[in-house]
Structure 1
Amino acid sequence: MPDDALPPALPALPDGLAVRHAARRGELTGHTSGLAPGFVQGNLAILPAALADEFLRFCQRNPKPCPVLGISETGSPRIPALGLDLDLRHDLPRYRVWRDGALMAEPADIAGFWRDDLVAFVLGCSFTFEHALMEDGIPLRHVQQGCNVGMWRTSIACAPAGRFAGPMVVSMRPMRAADAIRAIQITSRFPCVHGAPVHIGHPHLIGIEDLSRPDYGDTVAVREDEIPVFWACGVTPQAVIAAACPDFAITHAPGAMLVTDLRNSSLSLL
């Protein structure tokens, strides 16, 4: 699709509740970038309660890729602080189900996989600060093109916690140098959704050999007058789960986020 082409018209999804209901009805099955502007989006990781404390320690030691926004009670698919009419079994466009570290299914609903011993973690997502970037006039090409952001596993090692260890995953947005400087200033105000970039420029310095082949999401070209800007990404737990091989886990599908009732402004430091 040409860079200046508009994506297909999206349904009217003005807030988090509308996005969740569209996912619940099966009408929304793709990525959520650009939907419900101004509302906080979150990554999802669901694990057996026996692993919850260990995973929480992993998140606490790695706040850039894994900033915790909410944790459910054991066996509950709800986190009322993130939305009163919210059901984690139905309200994301797509999920991933893991067994022994291997991806076994990508369903649109996880009611059939739900167990009474599960604990859900919702982690901050960079889609949240995208609205602030666009409001400041910084263009985001994946939003313009109606595709998912590109994400890569890197050579940056996360701080381990018990069995949980592995590489940091990053998302990338191409920007002109002046926009990249401004983006650092803006995203630094949002530490709960990854904050400032972790790397700018040469991708090979963080173990990325080919920007045209993301590990997750879609390819977005970097023009000659642009530099790649990399943020820590909440898909990191998926790389860690693949390495740790827990007997069971559920995550969101990359880019298919939980959209909450929280306002972006509630997470801003300014």
Structure 2
Amino acid sequence: MGETLETIRKAIRSNEWTRPTAGHAEGYVQTNLVILRKPLAFDFLLFCQRNEKACPVLDVTDAGSYIPALSAPEADLRTDVPKYRVYENGVLTSERNDIKDLWEDEFVAFLLGCSFTFEKALMDYGIPVRHIEENVNVPMYHTNLPCHESGIFKGNMVVSMRPIPAKDLAKAVQITARSTKSHGAPVHIGNPESIGIKNVSSPDFGDAVTIKEGEVPVFWACGVTPQAAAIASRPDLMITHAPGHMFITSLKDTDVTI
């Protein structure tokens, strides 16, 4: 931790950094990435608008451009994510450290807000963030919470989980509710089974974390939701970040906080 934005972005671009980004480049907005061909871009933009809690849009590139002009004009979306995933017809076919050889003139890239952005605020108020404490990836889960459909895009919401001391629940809700472009307030608190999570100790993405006595599992909408939509909707091609391996923008947390 404590790396500057320039240091961490350079390390990612040179493939020296291929691990999750939670707790790093503090103060800068982290985002999820979705890349689609132009014919599907409008339907996906509408999917994001209809499911803003899970897919808050921060930036969209012009067709063929790999430069996110509004959020990081000095960056390159082909190289500046620690790990990418490639889905073809709904099937995860590869994970890669860059996508330069895959780039097409029809590609449109979407940057969607990420809950990593509000974690520093939680810690500043003395609320623990367990996956950072344990140096693992945040746990993420498929749920039974349906998304609103748009064109071919459909599926259920994915959520991330952080154990929160019961005494701090109200404070955690208030803090994260300010970050409307980073998923905002939780979508569920407590009993995981009521949103379709059978075993909170066995996440679908990321790593399990310790839930201590007196803590409650709290669930936030997650930007891995489009990857669940890719599996359910089967677009011919969708490129995303690998869960937890985010794109770090040049925006400050305060730019997207109420």
Normalised TM-score (structure 1): 0.94
1:225 paired with 2:224, answer no
Q: State the 1:57 CA deviation.
A: 0.3
Q: State the 1:223 CA deviation.
A: 1.8
Query: 1:114 pairs with 103, 112, 135, which one?
Result: 103
* Aligned residue number for residue 14 of structure 1: 4
Q: State the 1:175 CA deviation.
A: 1.0
Q: State the 1:18 CA deviation.
A: 2.6
| Runs (5+) with no aligned partner, structure 1 | 1-9
- Deviation track 1:7-37 (CA, whole Å, cap 9, x = no partner) reads xxx5x5222x332211001111010000011
In structure 2, C-alpha distance between the alignment counterparts of 1:178 and 1:252, rounded to whole Å: 34
In structure 2, C-alpha distance between the alignment counterparts of 1:236 and 1:24, rounded to whole Å: 25
RMSD after superposition: 0.9
In structure 1, C-alpha distance between the alignment counterparts of 2:3 and 2:98, rounded to whole Å: 19
Query: 2:138 pairs with 135, 149, 161, which one?
Result: 149
* Aligned residue number for residue 37 of structure 2: 48
1:175 paired with 2:164, answer yes
1:71 paired with 2:60, answer yes
In structure 1, C-alpha distance between the alignment counterparts of 2:88 and 2:38, rounded to whole Å: 15
1:99 paired with 2:88, answer yes
- Secondary structure of 2:170's counterpart equals helix
1:59 paired with 2:40, answer no
Q: State the 1:177 CA deviation.
A: 1.1
* Aligned residue number for residue 194 of structure 1: 183
In structure 2, C-alpha distance between the alignment counterparts of 1:84 and 1:152, rounded to whole Å: 33
In structure 1, C-alpha distance between the alignment counterparts of 2:40 and 2:73, rounded to whole Å: 26
Code of the aligned partner of 1:56: L
- Secondary structure of 1:82's counterpart equals coil
- Deviation track 1:128-181 (CA, whole Å, cap 9, x = no partner) reads 000111111111111011111000000000011111010100000001112221
Code of the aligned partner of 2:3: L
- Secondary structure of 2:251's counterpart equals strand
In structure 1, C-alpha distance between the alignment counterparts of 2:130 and 2:160, rounded to whole Å: 13
* Aligned residue number for residue 165 of structure 1: 154
In structure 1, C-alpha distance between the alignment counterparts of 2:20 and 2:142, rounded to whole Å: 19
* Aligned residue number for residue 256 of structure 2: 267
Normalised TM-score (structure 2): 0.98
Code of the aligned partner of 1:14: T
| Runs (5+) with no aligned partner, structure 2 | none
In structure 2, C-alpha distance between the alignment counterparts of 1:96 and 1:244, rounded to whole Å: 16
Q: Percent identical across equivalent pairs?
A: 51
In structure 2, C-alpha distance between the alignment counterparts of 1:133 and 1:53, rounded to whole Å: 35
- Deviation track 1:215-261 (CA, whole Å, cap 9, x = no partner) reads 00000121221110000000000000111101111000000000011
